Amino acid sequence: MNFRVGGKQYSGTSAVEIIRALQQDMMGDRNQRLTLRQFLLWSLSQLDNQIPSRELDVSDKLSDEVVSLNYLYLRDDYGAGRFQRYA
């Protein structure tokens, strides 16, 4: 799976791997303090002019992979990132 944000491409075998790489790039040393769901909510708050945060369900009833994939689809749908096909 490949996902592009701005000029950078993130690759992984799962959406969670891509989210973790995004988290590292966006948060740097601060990323240790946030859970995956906290990071996703924080990230959406940074994009609130593009993506309504109410669009993402981060409930514990969903797996990390489902929540992460939904987040990436939201970014793709709202033009804040783009899924890329493998070459």
DSSP-assigned beta bridge partners for residue 4:
9, 82
pTM reported for the whole predicted model: 0.88
pLDDT of residue 74: 93
d(CA 49, CA 35): 23
DSSP-assigned beta bridge partners for residue 3:
10, 83
Per-residue pLDDT for 42 more than 80? yes
pLDDT digits (tens, 9 = 90+) for 47-81: 888 888 788 888 889 999 999 999 999 999 999 99
87 vs 20: which has the higher pLDDT: 20
pLDDT digits (tens, 9 = 90+) for 13-24: 999 999 999 999
Residue 33 neighbours by CB under 8 Å, 6+ apart: none
Strand order in the sheet with 82-84: 8-11, 2-5, 82-84
Contact by Cβ (8 Å): 24, 43: no
